[in-house]
Structure 1
């Protein structure tokens, strides 16, 4: 497994000047390549900007391969780019390719709100990626290659690594960091026949049920409810100042500091919760619903198909719930390190369909209890976790595990499903 470790570095003023000069060349190359792609998009309006082959492959005329092949000529014409290690410049183009390919894919899929990547501003530090080469680690020190001047970029590390694949240099809140992608040993996964299904929510971070029909719930502390009013107040005061003034910058720094504290608290809560979950469950397989967090925050539409502004509180509850996708990533890598596995499955309508009879209900988010005609009265999150477990067992044809799970539901006093197992897939 590959993990990324974030390490803060303290460059000298001379080293800081070198880093900013290299970052500036990366920024110029990014903007130059982005301008070329935007020009292609405007001139062709997507009609002739790609070629569709008979086997369905799509290849854009201005793509990463074309811009990478143009890189030697660009460096010859503009020698200032030669001070940056060649692999770093290639990774700048690859990063742009990922950003722009995502924009194209969203537009092709009909998302008219998708916008192309923006140009990078001069005051911001451009991330530099040394992939596979350009760095050397020896005796808990790392040196980065460059050709700007004779000042070496050598920094101390906290420990040694068995194998390093990539080193990223970036800045955040005025501090410099290294992101080191290294290899770690993970235990092999063994299916022990025990499973745990998890439903992610807003009021409760997780609602989990195992094959023994025992529930585990964790409420969300919601630190954002404490920090958001303070951030909003500072932002309102900042917006009434002249942009760029000393007072504007002072309020902006204060706002960013509070936002960073909120983010760090959420991340700390998620790390502790995911560690507790993977350590305290005997199940080697964890099933979790595959949420589309991006769509959860979009504005709703009425029956007349007129756009209606989504409630600010609802969007904040969704996005500030602790970044649900981040929670899944933490849970996944922690589970794999100790020989467990996280499987994501489709969870559409699991909160709306009764797991007993399959009837679909109108369940707005404010309605927390499902009251079905079949007599099933249950919390919507618990219903969803049971439905996720039944769907996983039926999709994988685990009939023995299915019967055991249903039997355990009966012993705990919960209603048992009346539908055939295939109905949940």
Structure 2
């Protein structure tokens, strides 16, 4: 739960995950802890959700409407760099309607006052645990595990509020944990250790300890750690009535290597797309196809879902086809995350360790990559851009590249995509991607002067 600003020389964080095989008594213990953390989550959720509905929801609604009006008037830049006070130099040079500016300042001030007077912080809710931990089950469960649960809820609400502040009307708040027969994850920063090739997880005042052998591959990675940070115990199938496996993830620190000096001639520029990358590097210019396992699996999933329409929900046939659909989605996700993207990152690192990339929003929103109103974006339900939206694949690829580049002392810098003329947008896809990467290089180098 430790927070703070990034510092130079800060270690890198990595994680390993491996399966464990608990006994029936240990599973009963897991469920006991999970139920307590479920209660912690739900009580904190109720407090935050009530505050949002009563004090913040209407303000965020008006912020979304104000952003829409500014965008329709051609002044979407009014709402950029919201953290800055007043207008920046760029806005002063433009003839921005002062009514739009004053509306922005008024709404942000109103939101700030509302949070000062009625906001619920993570530390408020952590301090509230003290009174609950005097007696009963609350006192037996490790406090740190309860704090990590509150921290997870805090992060979920912050993400939701950031989306609402950006004017996204479809953003959904975190959910309550309502299922009584489900196993919810157990996170913690203490009560565990790795020794002699095994992980030991102590359940505090309950008086029991889980011991599990760590597989060889994960153990070798943990041997490079300078410090263990946290663990997370989860089950791949939350519903305990269904078959599932238990897993433990361990986050740890590794030393951060010395930074490689940034030389402009050695930077690689990437134009990000849903299906391919435009690459301009010191070693050449080319397009690199991204793994799109959805091209194989999505038609099969769609066909199976069509066959579900004529089947009675809950019947044996319905359950069988739903299980097949779930397996297909699992294979699709596994192939996208574990195989293709690592190969792409490995190829990119052969061209250097410093990258400048375009930052895209792959969503079915106006102006986004999967904008359904633009035929050239292929935003229909069968288009490749549509299939890429809301999966996190592009963001995950950039994050993997960032992690691997940092291990070699490199950096990844995100920039807005260059603006293209109508003629430039009509170039063939591969040629357009390389053109965008070239233009990205020109703009980046111009800003460095």
Query: TM-score band, normalised by the shorter chain?
Result: 0.7 to 0.9
Partner of residue 16, structure 1 = 27
SS in 1 for 2:382: helix
Alignment of 1:198-237 (within 5 A): 198-204=270-276, 206-211=277-282, 214-237=284-307
Q: In the aligned structure 1, how far is the partner of 2:310 from the partner of 2:122?
A: 43
1:124 aligns to 2:182 (yes or no): yes
Q: How big is each residue's C-alpha offset from its partner over 1:1-36, in whole Å with a ceiling of 9 and x where there is no partner?
A: 111112222222222222122112212221221112
Structure 2 residues without counterparts, runs of 5 or longer? 1-11, 61-106, 238-243
Q: Which has the higher helix share?
A: 2
Instruction: Determine if contact 1:15/1:152 at 8 Å carries over to the other structure.
Output: no
Partner of residue 2, structure 1 = 13
Instruction: Determine if contact 2:362/2:370 at 8 Å carries over to the other structure.
Output: no
Shift of 1:191: 2.2
Instruction: Determine if contact 2:59/2:111 at 8 Å carries over to the other structure.
Output: no
Q: How big is each residue's C-alpha offset from its partner over 1:223-278, in whole Å with a ceiling of 9 and x where there is no partner?
A: 21111122223334446555555544433322221111111112201011111221
Instruction: Determine if contact 2:287/2:433 at 8 Å carries over to the other structure.
Output: no
Shift of 1:211: 3.9
Q: Which has the higher contact order (CA 8 A, sep 6+)?
A: 2
Q: In the aligned structure 2, how far is the partner of 1:103 from the partner of 1:65?
A: 19
Q: How big is each residue's C-alpha offset from its partner over 1:282-326, in whole Å with a ceiling of 9 and x where there is no partner?
A: x34211112223453665459xxxxxx951123434338981011
Instruction: Determine if contact 1:270/1:322 at 8 Å carries over to the other structure.
Output: no
Partner of residue 271, structure 1 = 342
Q: In the aligned structure 2, how far is the partner of 1:111 from the partner of 1:130?
A: 32
Partner of residue 212, structure 2 = 155
> For the structure 1 residues 10 and 249, does the alpha-carbon distance in structure 2 shift closer, same or farther, using more than 3 Å as the test?
farther
> How many residues of Structure 1 are paired with residues of Structure 2 in the alignment?
367
Partner of residue 268, structure 2 = 196
Q: How big is each residue's C-alpha offset from its partner over 1:93-133, in whole Å with a ceiling of 9 and x where there is no partner?
A: 111111112222333343322222111242432122112x1
Q: In the aligned structure 1, how far is the partner of 2:389 from the partner of 2:171?
A: 19
Partner of residue 254, structure 1 = 324
SS in 1 for 2:233: strand
Partner of residue 313, structure 1 = 382
Instruction: Determine if contact 2:272/2:359 at 8 Å carries over to the other structure.
Output: no
Instruction: Determine if contact 1:202/1:321 at 8 Å carries over to the other structure.
Output: no
Partner of residue 115, structure 1 = 172
Partner of residue 408, structure 1 = none
Q: In the aligned structure 2, how far is the partner of 1:3 from the partner of 1:202?
A: 27
Partner of residue 416, structure 2 = 346
Instruction: Determine if contact 1:223/1:266 at 8 Å carries over to the other structure.
Output: yes
Instruction: Determine if contact 1:127/1:171 at 8 Å carries over to the other structure.
Output: yes
1:182 pairs with one of 245, 252, 261:
252
1:28 aligns to 2:39 (yes or no): yes
Partner of residue 434, structure 2 = 382
